[in-house]
Amino acid sequence: MLASSSVDKTTQGENAQQTHSVELSGLAYKTVSQLSEDMANGELTSVELVQFLLQRIETLDKQGPAINAVVELNPEALAIAAQRDNERLEGELRGPLHGIPVLLKDNISTADTLQTTAGSLALLGEPVGYDADVVRKLREGGAIILGKANLSEWMGFRGTNVPNGWSGRGGKTLNPHVLQADPCGSSTGSAVAVAAGLVPLSVGTETNGSINCPAFANGVVGVKPTRAVIDTSGIVVFSVKQDTLGAFARTVSDAAALLGLMLDNPVDLTAALDPFALQGKRIGYPDRFIPGSSEWDKNPDFVKALTVLKDAGATLVPVAPVQQQFDHYFEFMAMEFNLAVNAYLASREDSAAKDLTQLIAFNDQSSEGRDYNQAFIELAHATPYDRVRYDELWKALYTFHQQEVDNTLTRNAVDAVIDVPISIVSSVIPLIGYPSVTLPNGLDHNGLPTGLYFYGAQGSDSQLLSMAYAYEQLRPMRQNPAFRSAPQRNDFKQLPAPWVFND
C-alpha cells in the first residue's frame, strides 16, 4: 500500500488544518480552480488531496486495471503538502498552483530522491541531485511534485517494434478508456495519469508529437508551446533542436495555469482566456474536409467542430495541405539522438552505460525488453554527429517547413488552423517549433477519444489557448475513462511513433 487513507496529524505541523470529514470520491476529476477554491474555503487540505491521489494510484495504477502510468512516487509529497497547508493558513500563497500535485515525465530531473531515467534501466541508480529549471519554478510556485510518470523509453527512440508507452524501467502503460488500445507516446504516463484522475496536472516533453499524440489518444488537453519559451535545462533530451516541455490537463484553463508557471518569464496565462475569443477570428481547416468529401463522412466529430466554430462567430477558411519533405528526417533524428544521448550518458557518473556503444550492449544483456529491438538506438550509433551535415540537414528541414506553414497562415490570412491530431501538419508544427493545443473532441465507436488540433504562428501561444478555451466552453467533450477491457479485440489501430508520420 502506497499510502494510508488516514492523515497523520503529527506530520502536518502545529498550525496545520485538521482533517475534514469531506467526500473525497469526487476529487479525482476536479479542476485546479475547484481544488483551489475548496482549499481556500477550508473544505480541503493539500494533505487530504495528496492522500486521496496516492490511494487512487494504488487502486487503479498498481492494482485493479493496473494502467501503470506512475513509475515512482515522491516520498516527500505528504510533508510538502503539509508545508503548503501551513503556508495557506498563514496567508502565504506562492501562486495559482499552491498545494496542487503535479506529475513529471521521467526525463525531467529533480533534486530529491526520485530517479531520472528516460525509461532506461541503464540510468537507474543514484538520483541526479538537481532540479530542472522548470521543476524549480513549479516548486517556487507552490506545486507539489507527486512523482514521475512512465514514458516510451528514450522518448520513443528505442526500436521499431516497441509499443508506445513501454519502457524497460516502467513496463507498459495502458489507455484508461480501453485498456488494449494504444495510449501513444512518448509522454504516455503523463497523459494517462491526468486522464485517469491520478493527478490534476502533469508535465511532458515533445520532440515531434509526444504531447499531441498521447493527449489525443487519452482524451486530455495537451499544450506544446512555442519552442524556447521554456528552459529545457535539466531535461534528458532526444533532440537539441526540437525538444520542448509542455503541459497536460483536463481543461484548457488548467493547462494554461501550469504552462504559465513553467515559462522562462512566468505569467498568468489564464487571465487572457476569453469565452468569446472565436468571434471575428479566421480559422483555417484542411480542404479535404469540404462538405461531401470522404473525410467529411469519416470524421463526424471534426465536422461538428467546424459547425461550433462557425456558430461562435469564426470565419472558416479551407486551406491546402502543408507539404512536407522528410526524406532525410531519420538521418537528422539519428544524428540528434547520437549527439544528445552520448553527451547525457557521459555526464551521468552513475550510468551503467557511458555512450551508445555501452547502452546497446547493456540492453542486449538486460532481461527487460528482450522481446523488443533497439533498431533506432543502433541507427543513431551508426550515424555519428557530423556538424556540417547536421547544420545542412537542419537548415533544409527547418526552412522548407517554416515557409510552408507561414505561407499557409499568411496566404489565407488566418489566425489559426485546426486539423485532426494525427496528420502531416502535426509532424511539421513541432519540427519548426510552433505552438499547438490538442483538445478532446468526442469518442469514436470503440469508446476511444477523438481530438481537435489547433496550431498557429510562432509566439501565438496565448491566442491559441484562448481560442481553444472558447471552443471548450461551447463543446466540452472530455470523458472520464471507462477502464474498459476488450480482451477479444486486437484490431485497434496502432498509432505511429509520434515523430514518424504515417498517413
Annotated catalytic residue 105: yes
Catalytic residue among 210, 239, 351, 462: 210
Which three-class secondary structure state does DSSP give residue 9? helix
Cβ atoms of 450 and 478 within 8 Å: the answer is: no
CA distance 304 to 417: 16
Annotated catalytic residue 186: yes
Backbone Cα Rg of the chain = 22
CA-based end-to-end distance of the chain? 44
CA distance 76 to 84: 12
Catalytic residue among 30, 105, 148, 281: 105
Q: Could you tell me which residues are beta bridge partners of residue 450? A: 442
CA distance 375 to 210: 19
Catalytic residue among 186, 202, 436, 466: 186
Which three-class secondary structure state does DSSP give residue 356? helix
Cβ atoms of 178 and 184 within 8 Å: the answer is: no
Number of H helices, E strands in the chain: 15, 13
Q: Cell numbers at residue 379, please?
A: 541507427
CA distance 375 to 199: 34
- On the 0-12 / 13-18 / 19+ scale of CB atoms within 10 A, 63 is exposed
Annotated catalytic residue 210: yes
- On the 0-12 / 13-18 / 19+ scale of CB atoms within 10 A, 239 is buried
List active site positions.
Answer: 105, 186, 210
